[in-house]
Amino acid sequence: MGPERDPGSGERRSPQPAPGRGLEAGSELGSSVEAGEKHAGRVSANGASAERSSAHKVEIEGLGVTFYSHRHSDGFEALRNINLSVGDGEFVSILGRSGCGKSTFFNTVAGLIEPTTGTVRCDGELIGGQPGHAGYMMQRDHLFPWRSVRDNVVVGLDVLGENKRASRRRADELFPRFGLSGFEDVYPEALSGGMRQRAALMRTMLLERPLLLLDEPFGALDAITRAEMQAWLLEIWSEFRRTVLFITHDVEEAVFLSDRVVVLGGPPGEVLVSAEVPIERPREYAEVVTSDEFTRVKHEILDVISR
Ligand SMILES: Nc1ncnc2c1ncn2[C@@H]1O[C@H](COP(=O)(O)OP(=O)(O)OP(=O)(O)O)[C@@H](O)[C@H]1O
Ligand SMILES: [Mg+2]
């Protein structure tokens, strides 16, 4: 479905956030998940993997998004004909220049924006601008300065009306795993950049959605903290085994973390390539980044980006 027409004015409106459940509630939805099959193909164009997993968590077909606004009364095409399937338990990075449509893509997969053309499915269910199936860590961490760290990480559960004491008990069990022990009662201003990111990720994980959308979670971090966070994220991912879509500008980060790297060109955002990363797990940073396979995949991606 495309942008709606206002029946009163006959004017087209921009895609709007889906009605209703507020910021946090807009970022989740769910069902159960089992560790998944992995794609085993190599590089192929337009998101098609050479060998496709039979258990797709997310299936995107012919997705396009056009925004209508005062600046672009004829419409601004942000995404065009995106085709992508993500296997259950797969870790897929989305790479692309600033403004190519990565966050718009996530907003659409999360159900916050209705596709103008094409479809997004999660577990076979059509996501037509209806949120609820994904844990979404947005580009900024959105920690509330007036809530303690504990109250921040459970805010999504509070919005859902879960029992407050039970939510906080669950959160307290996870604080050590997220490197935040002892910071439960402080306010976000007292956290370092890396700690803020871990708190935001913990909030996303606590919603227990089987699909995680992480929009540049480490973009603002220095190189050393970033490397630590990458290693930590892989541990968390292998422990919790969710399907992850991860936006980054960093080619090495994408290759190190992912089963597959999807490069978007644009605007309008289009899939330029979907490159498999056939490197075994668990991955040890120094070993992986000096391997021939890592260098080969990195160069394949850089070739596409520099075209
Ligand atoms: N609600 C909207 N209305 C009109 N245009 C929009 C809207 N949201 C995004 N855009 C435009 O769509 C394009 C893609 O934006 P988007 O935020 O998806 O890019 P991005 O790839 O995430 O960039 P970055 O890497 O800087 O975060 C931009 O040109 C942006 O101005
Ligand atoms: Mg963005």
Q: How confident is the model at residue 282 (pLDDT cuts 50, 70, 90)?
A: very high
Cα→Cα distances 96→115, 145, 147, Å: 20, 31, 34
Of ligand 1's listed atoms, the one at least distance from the Cα of 78 is: 12
Ligand nearest, relative to CA of residue 13: 1
Q: Could you tell me if the CB of 101 is within 6 A of ligand 1?
A: yes
pLDDT digits (tens, 9 = 90+) for 230-278: 998 998 898 888 999 999 999 999 999 999 999 999 999 999 999 999 9
State how far the Cα of 108 lies from the Cα of 114, in Å rounded to an integer.
Answer: 6
Q: How confident is the model at residue 46 (pLDDT cuts 50, 70, 90)?
A: very low
pLDDT digits (tens, 9 = 90+) for 91-149: 999 999 999 999 999 999 999 999 999 999 999 999 987 888 999 998 888 899 999 99
State how far the Cα of 259 lies from the Cα of 208, in Å rounded to an integer.
Answer: 22
Q: CB burial class (10 A; 0-12, 13-18, 19+) of residue 54?
A: exposed
pLDDT at 182 over 90: yes
pLDDT at 210 over 50: yes
State how far the Cα of 104 lies from the Cα of 269, in Å rounded to an integer.
Answer: 9
pTM of the model: 0.82
Q: Specify whether the CB–CB gap between 207 and 27 falls below 8 A.
A: yes
* Residue whose structure tokens are 């606004």: 69
pLDDT digits (tens, 9 = 90+) for 288-300: 999 999 999 999 9
Residues paired with residue 247 on neighbouring β-strands, in sequence order:
94, 215
The predicted structure's pLDDT at residue 44: 37
How many angstroms does the Cα of residue 39 sit away from the middle of ligand 1? 29
pLDDT at 26 over 80: no
How many angstroms does the Cα of residue 101 sit away from the middle of ligand 2? 7
Mean pLDDT of the chain: 83
**φ and ψ at residue 281, rounded to 5 degrees:** -115, 155
How many angstroms does the Cα of residue 43 sit away from the middle of ligand 2? 25
In CATH, the number for domain 22-142+208-306 is 3.40.50.300
State how far the Cα of 13 lies from the Cα of 15, in Å rounded to an integer.
Answer: 6
Q: Specify whether the CB–CB gap between 135 and 207 falls below 8 A.
A: yes
Listed by start position, the domains of the chain span 22-142+208-306
